[in-house]
Amino acid sequence: MDILALNCGSSSVKYQLYDWAKKEVIAKGMVERVTIGDSYIIHEVPGRETYREEYECPDHKVAIHLIIKTLADKIHGVVADMSQISAVGHRVVHGGEKFNRSVMINEAVLDAIKEVQHLAPLHNPPNISGIEAAQSVLPNVPHIAIFDTAFHQTLPEHAYMYPVPYEWYENYGVRRYGFHGTSHLYVSKRAAVLLGKDPKDCNIITMHIGNGVSHSAIQGGISIDTSMGLTPLEGAVMGTRCGDIDPAIPMFIQQQENLSAKEVDSILNKKAGIYGITGRFTDRRDVIEEAEKGDERCILALDIESYRLKKYIGSYCAVLGRLDAVVFTAGVGEMGWLIREHALEGLEHIGIILDKEINKNTMTRKRETMISTPDSPVKVFVIPTDEELVFTEDVVAILAGTYADHMHFDYSFAGKDFKK
Q: In this structure, what CATH number is given to the domain that contains residue 238?
A: 3.30.420.40
For residue 151, the tally of other CB atoms under 10 A from its CB is 28
229 within domain boundaries: yes
Average pLDDT over residues 357-364: 92
Q: Which pLDDT score, from 0 to 100, does residue 127 have?
A: 87
Contacts 24+ apart (CB under 8 A), 296-301: 301/274, 301/277
Q: Is the pLDDT of residue 43 over 80?
A: yes
356 within domain boundaries: yes
| Identified catalytic residue from 148, 225, 324, 394 | 148
Rounded to an integer, what distance in angstroms lies between the CA atom of residue 3 and that of residue 18?
5
Average pLDDT over residues 34-52: 90
69 within domain boundaries: yes
Q: Which pLDDT score, from 0 to 100, does residue 193 have?
A: 96
Last residue in a domain, options 147, 163, 184: 147
405 within domain boundaries: no
Are 229 and 330 part of one and the same domain? Answer: yes
Rounded to an integer, what distance in angstroms lies between the CA atom of residue 263 and that of residue 269?
10
Q: In the beta sheet, which residues pair with residue 175?
A: none
Are 141 and 207 part of one and the same domain? Answer: no
C-beta of residue 104 within 8 angstroms of C-beta of residue 143: yes
Length of the chain: 420
Are 217 and 106 part of one and the same domain? Answer: no
Q: Is the pLDDT of residue 82 over 80?
A: no
| High-pLDDT (> 90) share of the chain, % | 68
Are 280 and 143 part of one and the same domain? Answer: no
Are 69 and 213 part of one and the same domain? Answer: no
Q: Is the pLDDT of residue 324 over 80?
A: yes
Are 7 and 101 part of one and the same domain? Answer: yes
In 271-407, where does DSSP find H-type helix? Answer: 273-278, 284-292, 296-320, 330-335, 337-344, 356-360, 387-400
Degrees, nearest 5: CA angle 408-412-418? 135
129 within domain boundaries: yes
Model confidence at 32, pLDDT cuts 50, 70, 90, reads confident
57 within domain boundaries: yes
Are 257 and 324 part of one and the same domain? Answer: yes
Q: Tell me: the pLDDT tens digits for 219-229?
A: 999 999 999 99
374 within domain boundaries: yes
First to last CA, the chain: 18
Are 245 and 323 part of one and the same domain? Answer: yes
Rounded to an integer, what distance in angstroms lies between the CA atom of residue 31 and that of residue 50?
13
Rounded to an integer, what distance in angstroms lies between the CA atom of residue 221 and that of residue 206?
11
Rounded to an integer, what distance in angstroms lies between the CA atom of residue 419 and that of residue 274?
35
Q: Which pLDDT score, from 0 to 100, does residue 107 have?
A: 92
Name the domain count of the chain: 2
Are 142 and 222 part of one and the same domain? Answer: no
Rounded to an integer, what distance in angstroms lies between the CA atom of residue 55 and that of residue 32?
10
Last residue in a domain, options 116, 147, 178: 147
346 within domain boundaries: yes
Annotated catalytic, 73? no
Give me the domain span that covers residue 296: 198-382
